[in-house]
Structure 1
Amino acid sequence: MGIFKSGGAKTRTGSGKTIIATGCKISGEIKDLDGPLHIDGRVDGIVETEYDVSIGDKGILKGLIKAKNVVVSGVLEGKVACESIDILSTGKLLGEVICGELMIEAGGKFIGESRELTEGGLIVSFPEAERMRLANQLASQFASSGEKLTGNTQTEVKIEEKVSKANAEKDNV
């Protein structure tokens, strides 16, 4: 489980931490949170928040993430924009990172490219083409599984209590 850095962070008032528990899978877009997000399950999609995001030892996030600070103990695959990112000893990040500060503990893995965040802070936004590509990818995953989407694929959030054996085998990283 990741732990947030306490040095210099401002305290924010919010409703508390959002937790994606082990065994849960969310596909879609997560945004407008009132506090930090912790992932022990799996998230496929877009995460945009002004708060911290942590990915636990068994957690997986595939997609785009924009957050204040990110702590990776599990697997993060995709594009990340944040002020600081910590990849802990059990963490693995595959993709592109735009950040002000990057820390990798011994044993942590980073495969990809990184760029420094500009002085102006979090000015990075994900291009609409990238959002649409990801939304289309998520829609095709639902279509191939025979499930029916009831809303906009960019905002649709699907929670599964158990991940099927086929998905579990496919998702092993």
Structure 2
Amino acid sequence: MALFTKEPEKNPKIQPTTAPHASSTSPAPAISTSPVAPRANGPAASEGRAYLDRGSKIIGKISFEGPARIDGEVDGEINAKDSLMIGESAVVTAQIRAASVSIAGKVSGDVVAAQRIEIRPSAKVSGNITAPVLSVQEGAQFEGHCSMQPEGIREDRKVTVFPKEERVAQAAGGLKQA
């Protein structure tokens, strides 16, 4: 069976058909793997984009060289050198690193972007986010910590953590002096 080749099968199986109906439904493909016409809401493979459609699930580490869109499920780690779009139907439980990330679905895990992160109204994000530019649209849900400094600056900072007793004493001393 020729699933992923461009050549037709030598002995194609003929399926019996019933009377044609004007309104027929056809299931959407799980993963776009060949150059096909673009879908209304998905990218075309001919544009050099990766696309993980609804009903697809990946467990593990996935990397993208060019722009990518995810509408399925991913559990693990995602690395993208270009832009990454998490669609409304996507459920992602992963650490994400990309140039830019646009989130419209559900994401659990830390998200790091070199350029920007956009959280759309339908998004539910649970985890820490890091990007120099952040856009959170009205209606979006975000739970976690946010850092909007470039990674190089963040690494140079020195953080001093005091033991709990010292913090309590300092807080009490500050109140007495005020």
**TM-score bracket for this pair, using the shorter chain length:** 0.5 to 0.7
Q: Does 1:40 align with 2:50?
A: no
**Which secondary structure does the structure 2 equivalent of 1:67 belong to?**
strand
**Which secondary structure does the structure 2 equivalent of 1:28 belong to?**
strand
Q: Does 1:77 align with 2:108?
A: yes
C-alpha distance in structure 1 between counterparts of 2:101 and 2:151, whole Å:
19
What 5-or-longer segments of structure 1 have no aligned partner? 4-13, 124-173
Who wins on radius of gyration, i.e. which is larger?
A: 2
The residue type equivalent to 2:109 in the other structure is G
Q: 1:21 is matched with which residue?
A: 53
Q: Does 1:50 align with 2:65?
A: no
C-alpha distance in structure 1 between counterparts of 2:71 and 2:148, whole Å:
28
Q: 2:7 is matched with which residue?
A: none
**What pairs with 1:88-99 in structure 2 (closer than 5 Å)?**
88-99=120-131
TM-score by length of 2: 0.57
Divergent runs of 4+, >6 A? none
C-alpha distance in structure 1 between counterparts of 2:41 and 2:152, whole Å:
27
111 and 18 in structure 1: CA distance in 2 versus 1, 3 angstrom threshold: same
**What pairs with 1:157-168 in structure 2 (closer than 5 Å)?**
none
C-alpha distance in structure 2 between counterparts of 1:46 and 1:34, whole Å:
15
CA contact (8 A) 1:16 1:34 kept: no
After the TM superposition, which of the residue ranges 69-78 and 110-119 deviates more from structure 2? 110-119
Structure having greater relative contact order (Cα 8 Å, sep ≥ 6): 1
- Count of aligned positions: 112
What 5-or-longer segments of structure 2 have no aligned partner? 1-39, 156-178
C-alpha distance in structure 2 between counterparts of 1:98 and 1:39, whole Å:
20
**Which structure features the higher share of strand residues?**
1
CA positional deviation for 1:120: 4.2
CA contact (8 A) 2:52 2:71 kept: yes
CA positional deviation for 1:34: 2.8
TM-score by length of 1: 0.59
